Amino acid sequence: MVFRKVSISTKIFEKTNSVVTWIAHKPVLLTKYNGDYFAMEAVCGHMGCAILNKVEGKEAVCPAHGARYDVTNGNKVSEPQIKPEAPCEYDSIGEPLKTFKVLENNGFLEVDTD
Ligand code: FES
């Protein structure tokens, strides 16, 4: 395991339940849910064009077409709710999004990106 320190203070979660950061050139969604921290890749598995940044409870909502993911395990909760106007070869989302272990260390988060 390689935990990378991200410059995200845990105090930010007093104001919001989630934040997107970049780790190893990839967007990662950090969420606090029920007192625990979670990290999940932040690119939607539908068309890959949307970065997940809105979390309701433990569900990240894709801003493009409304698919939902469980931030605790990356599993799809619901399919896209809006059909894209552009031709799209993907009707459903199969693979869960990748999740990463998170540690809290002296008020900052560390994420295992391996
Ligand atoms: S890109 Fe996320 S639901 Fe379509």
Q: Which atom of ligand 1 is nearest to the CA of 50?
A: 1
What is the 60 CA–ligand 1 centroid distance (Å)?
A: 11
**pLDDT band for position 37 (cuts 50, 70, 90):** very high
Domain boundaries 3-112, corresponding CATH code: 2.102.10.10
Does residue 91 have a pLDDT over 70?
A: no
Q: Is 24 helix (H, G, I), strand (E, B) or coil?
A: coil
DSSP string over 75-103: -EEE--SS--SS--S-SS--SPPPEE-EE
> What pLDDT digit, counting tens, does each position of 47-82 carry?
887 899 999 999 999 999 999 999 999 999 999 998
- 30 vs 113, higher pLDDT: 30
| Residue 47 CB–ligand 1 contact under 6 Å | yes
Q: Which atom of ligand 1 is nearest to the CA of 44?
A: 2
Q: Which atom of ligand 1 is nearest to the CA of 84?
A: 4
For the chain, give every domain's residue range: 3-112
